[in-house]
Structure 1
Amino acid sequence: MLKLNNGFYRTLIIALNFIAVNAFAQKESYIQSLNARNRWVDSVYNHLSRKHKVAQLLFIRAHTNKGKAYEDSVARVIKDEQIGGLVFFQGGPGRQAALTNRYQKLADVPLLVSMDGEWGLGMRLDSTISYPYQMTLGAIQNNNLIYKMGQQVAYDFKRLGIQINFGPDMDVNNNPNNPVINYRSFGDNMYNVAKKGIAYFKGMQDAGLLTTAKHFPGHGDTNVDSHFDLPLLPYSRARLDSLEEYPFREAINAGISGIMIAHMNIPALDSTKHLPSTLSRPIVTGILKDSLRFKGLVVSDAMEMKGVTKYFPNGDADVRAFIAGIDIIELSENSDRAINLIRRAVRKGLISPAEFEIKVKKVLAAKYWAGLNRRQTISPVNLSADLNRQAAKDLVQQLSDASVTMLKGSSAALRLNPFLKTAIVSIGVDAPTVFQQELAKSFPNCRLFMIAKNTPALEIKNISNWLKQYGQIIVGIHDTRLRPQSKLDYSSDVRLMVAELASRKNTIMSVFANAYTIAGLPGIEKSNALLACYQMSPELQKSAAKVITGTLKPTGKLPVSVNVFFPTGTGMQ
């Protein structure tokens, strides 16, 4: 054997340590990368015509569930217009991988592929993992779990050839009746929203994904959905500065790579009648870019939404957004028209050549940061297994466990007799639930009852009488709708039954619905114990069962104010 001296070993160890450190060192952030000159960006920019430079600012809609004719129409737009990126919506992962490979081959400059993935790929795609909604995450006290979720989401996105997530939502949802944000927000406490949002996007960005905080300057206190009309935000500049903008300021200071602008009319910031914030230079450039010194990607909300097209039709909105300071014009009604109108605006000098160059180079720099300076092909091999890996599923369960919030009660109140005659009731459903099946394992002397949301009064009365023979009752209140709204769609008779059950001794209630729905169930506060579980996922139903059977300590805190009984921050342990 060759004998090596101590000096060789020391050198070898130092070299191996250097390799290890560099292997795990995080690359510079997208924002940091903008400070240095980039030869690839300069080269691509110099080879593009003005038309194709403008086209880099346009992102168009893509689906994989609309058939071949639709897919071919998107392909034609990519080939003919050489747009900058795609926004994928509904479909399936295998189809999206194949279509992304096809579309990237048509682009002279690789496409920046994006998706709204506030709770991961499952927000848009079948056969993929959905992480908890942001309101659910708002209850978690360990923000490191949310950072880990960001890393897992980034893995999913990158595995599917997506470079940018239009998330997180960093709106402060201080209007319980908000029809468009609501459960998509971390809650109504601006400090909690900021901390959770930063943990989430840092997890994604540290794992190599571009992110976009939305919807600046804050869409949380509106009662109009900007998909259908233009919301009015009637508050003072001082209120907006101190509340709505707070999470976005914190996100900018923490290095967020992108900010999405909302479609809202905000007279305190721009008095132009019917002008959406997306089209306001005082808001986009004056406040976001100049006052808050944001240097990253400024993205419009979808330009096909009525909140922007209602008063600025026929491509006028696209040009105004461009002039206002938007870098990425998302989902124009007509991208070809938008490119031509913006070219004309550039030719007329409606923005300076320097500002135009910065916009285009920011998009190209994002492509470089995401690795698109080298052509990428998505491998279909093991795609489904990779996107449904056990580590991600385990994290979803961990997040769910950490979010369960005990609004009323104690460990003593949850101490049920496992051998006593027990009724396990699920309301709002017509088939046994995961919640019931999990609990039945621990209560051998139990019976399951299902009460649909529109059960007739006579049937409710019969069930109610039947339940009197049970010594303890465990109730799950379920919202089966795809999106958990602020009010349950239960009949008045079913609501009354909830109140009647809550008034009985030894009744435990778990609400697998939007936390705001508790306010619409008067009398529920009288139950022996009450758990807020935020959404009807299998994982949260398992988490609640674990709390009730004593194998999990509830640590969540209510992220929104429900009513006088349950304000923000409520949470027993």
Structure 2
Amino acid sequence: MKKLLLLIACCYSLNTSAQKRPPFIDFLNQRNTWVDSVFKSMSHAEKLGQLFMVRAHTDKGVEYSEKVAKLIKDNHIGGVVFFQGGPERQAALTNQYQQLVKVPLMIAMDAEWGVGMRLDSTISYPFQMTLGAMQNDQLLYKMGEQVAKDFKRLGMHINFAPAVDVNNNANNPVINFRSFGENKYNVADKGIAYMKGMQENGILTTAKHFPGHGDTDVDSHYDLPQLNFTRTRLDTLEMYPFKKIMANGVGGVMVGHMNIPSLDPTPTLSSSLSKPIVTGILKNEFGFKGLVVSDAMDMKGVVKFFPNGQADVKALIAGLDVIELSEDVERAIKMVKKAIKAKQISWEEIDAKVKKILYAKYWLGLDNYQPVSTANVFRDLNRQESTTLIQQMADASITVLKGTAAFPLRNDFVRKTVILNVGSSENTVFSNTLKKIKPGALVINIPKNVGELELATIRTTVKQYDQIVMAVIDSRSRPASKLDFPNHLTQFISEFSTKNTITALFANPYVISGIPGFERSASILLGYQNLPEIQLAASKVILGTLKANGKLPVSVNAFFKYGDGILMR
């Protein structure tokens, strides 16, 4: 049968390069012989299997991989979502999994800032919050192009990105730095640019997390957030970027797990299980025709109140096309069959979902599936054009909130200069770059676990200098809204935020609100996260070789609001 399908693909494929076909949304309206032929060949069991995408890793050993393989083969699974692991191992495992199925698998990854979000020895781009500061959206399009190249090199087809949640809650524990910021227009524009860069290069994308997860203080991985906003508020703010990106041709939408009484008053019901939200608003009212995908269905936000497979069935009834990461696929399929017999959902509805999935597979070129080359994977994923782009994005994101008079920093003998790396136990790209111009400057590295006695000694030393360059560095892989520094170190930052200090923050901008007196520094630069490229960009601004033009994408306190940033000419 697999050979027959490949023969059908060869006979009826009009063009095997997805990027040369019409946009996916437009493509759905066309009659497709390959889709029809494959669909007619499928049993009921094969159709139901297409609705599910299962989790895969390449860092959990052979036994785990074999367990996933059995799940795929036994249940005719439609897709795989890869998480942590290595690129070479993933390429090889993708080929193994593809050999198990009659209809090629649709391979996905949740890679908001590139495959480096999940895979070792690969490239990560800056976080969305960082990119929200840029004034050049064309760089986002180029990032989409590069991410698409990486996906295709690894045999992947869908990126569960971009996140177009409007993050207007500094205490949001789950979106936060994953958002382009608090301004709906900026979020929409940057989400569209990133989406187009991927989709116009043959990768399907899903805007997430509909209807909008930006103003929550509960992480839906662990509980069900509630959005107590009016329909008018949701329409004009949270859902605005989704409407804009859908109007620009996004191929998929991922529905998040939130309880929203103004859209569906059912108590404890997640938006991902709500027919009024998924079918009523997203599909009927907004007219979205593309793939509707669930957020992970093993998250507590959805299964806490609908356990033991209930959530999977309710999600399909609500109107979702693809169930991502069911807790138990075999159980879910059995329960869907029971729901069909009970007339809770019809085969006609199932068939429509399956056909849409097959259309996506055809658009992605899976009608002419080719195995992934396992040679030179590392080299191909670590391209110079990608690293050059990251530096360009870093340069474009640096934001000067205050005080350009101190730039450029010069090698003079008038002022004694000390460079502080607060939060780092070793020299940084930032301090090393400045030292090249000011070789006489003293560099002091202050790890975040510094003791009070040691810090007291450092304080005495710093007071002997009349010019301070202070880098505040959050070394965590995912920077939160509050620094994980001890109080005495935060107080040290406050004490030396003075008229003699140039302060560079390589951390989540929201942390500013937890540092009293931060605004007193003579000059303040925001780098948003701790990347070497961003540290280099900040040092170039201080040395006068780069003109900063970033704008603050969120409001952090009364001193620093959305849109703040000195444009340097």
Q: TM-score range by the shorter chain?
A: over 0.9
Whether contact under 8 Å (1:419, 1:444) holds in the other structure is no
Deviations 1:304-327 (A, max 9, x none): 011111110111100000000000
When the two chains are superposed, the root-mean-square deviation of aligned CA atoms in Å is 1.4
* 8 Å contact kept, 1:405–1:555: yes
Determine the C-alpha separation between the residues in 1 that align with 2:543 and 2:374: 42
* Partner residue in 1 for 2:230: 236
CA distance in 2, matches of 1:354, 1:335: 21
Q: 2: CA distance between counterparts of 1:129 and 1:56? A: 31
Match of 2:461 among 459, 466, 473: 466
**Residue 25 of structure 1: CA displacement?**
8.3
Q: Where does residue 482 of structure 1 map in the other structure?
A: 477
Q: 2:505 and 2:361 mapped to 1: Cα distance?
A: 44
CA displacement 1:271-290 (0-9 Å, x = unmatched): 11100011000000000000
1:290-329 alignment runs, 5 A limit: 290-329=284-323
Alpha-carbon distance between aligned partners in 2 of 1:353 and 1:81, rounded to the nearest angstrom: 18
Q: Is 1:154 the equivalent of 2:156?
A: no
Give 5+ residue unaligned stretches, structure 2: 1-16
Q: 1:331 aligns with which of 307, 325, 345?
A: 325
1:423 aligns with 2:418: yes
Which position in structure 2 is the counterpart of 1:268? 262
Q: Give the match for residue 492 of structure 1.
A: 487
Task: Tell me, yes or no, if structure 1 residue 202 matches structure 2 residue 196.
Answer: yes
Tell me which of 406, 413, 416 is aligned to 2:406.
413
Q: Distance in 1 between matches of 2:20 and 2:407?
A: 46
1:450 equivalent in structure 2: 445
Q: Hey, what's the Cα distance between the residues in 1 that align with 2:184 and 2:240?
A: 7
Select the residue among 135, 142, 145 that pairs with 2:136.
Answer: 142
Alignment correspondent of 1:549: 543
| 418-427 vs 236-245, greater mean Cα deviation | 418-427
The one-letter code matched in structure 2 to 1:295 is K
2:107 is equivalent to residue 113 of structure 1: yes
1:497-538 alpha-carbon deviations (Å, 9 max, x no partner): 111111242x10110000101111111111110011000011
From 240, 247, 268, the equivalent of 2:241 is 247
Q: State the partner residue of 2:53.
A: 59
Is 1:287 matched up with 2:276?
A: no
Aligned residue in 2 for 1:7: none
In 1, the alpha carbon distance for the partners of 2:18 and 2:307 equals 49
Q: CA deviation at 1:24?
A: 12
Contact persistence 2:113–2:125 (CA under 8 A)? yes
SS at match of 1:502: coil
| Residue equivalent to 2:508 | 514
Residue 27 of structure 1 deviates from its aligned partner by 2.8
Equivalent position amino acid for 1:36 in 2: Q
Q: How many residues align?
A: 550
Displacement of 1:472 = 1.6
- Give the superposition deviation at 1:471: 3.1
Q: Indicate the residue corresponding to 1:433 in structure 2.
A: 428
8 Å CA contact 1:81–1:336 kept in 2: the answer is: yes
Does structure 2 retain, via aligned residues, the 8 Å contact 1:414–1:508? no
Q: Which residue of 1 aligns with 2:345?
A: 351
Distance in 2 separating the partners of 1:258 and 1:522? 43
Alpha-carbon separation, structure 1, partners of 2:397 and 2:192: 18
Q: For the residues of structure 2 that align with 1:314 and 1:465, how far apart are their CA atoms?
A: 61
Distance 2:340 2:363 in 1: 27
Find the counterpart in structure 2 of residue 32 from structure 1: 26
Q: Percent identity?
A: 57
Provide TM-score, normalisation by structure 1. 0.94
Q: 2:391 aligns with which of 368, 379, 397?
A: 397
Structure 1 runs, 4 residues or longer, greater than 6 Å off: none
Task: Give yes or no for contact 2:19–2:201 (8 Å, CA) kept in 1.
Answer: no
In structure 2, do the counterparts of structure 1 residues 223 and 395 end up closer, same or farther at CA, with 3 Å as the change threshold?
same
Letter in 1 for 2:410: N
The 2-side partners of 1:103 and 1:351 are apart by 30
**SS state at 2:369 partner:** coil
Shift of 1:496: 1.2
Paired with 1:347 and 1:162, the residues of 2 have a C-alpha distance of 35
Distance apart, 1:458 and its partner CA:
2.5
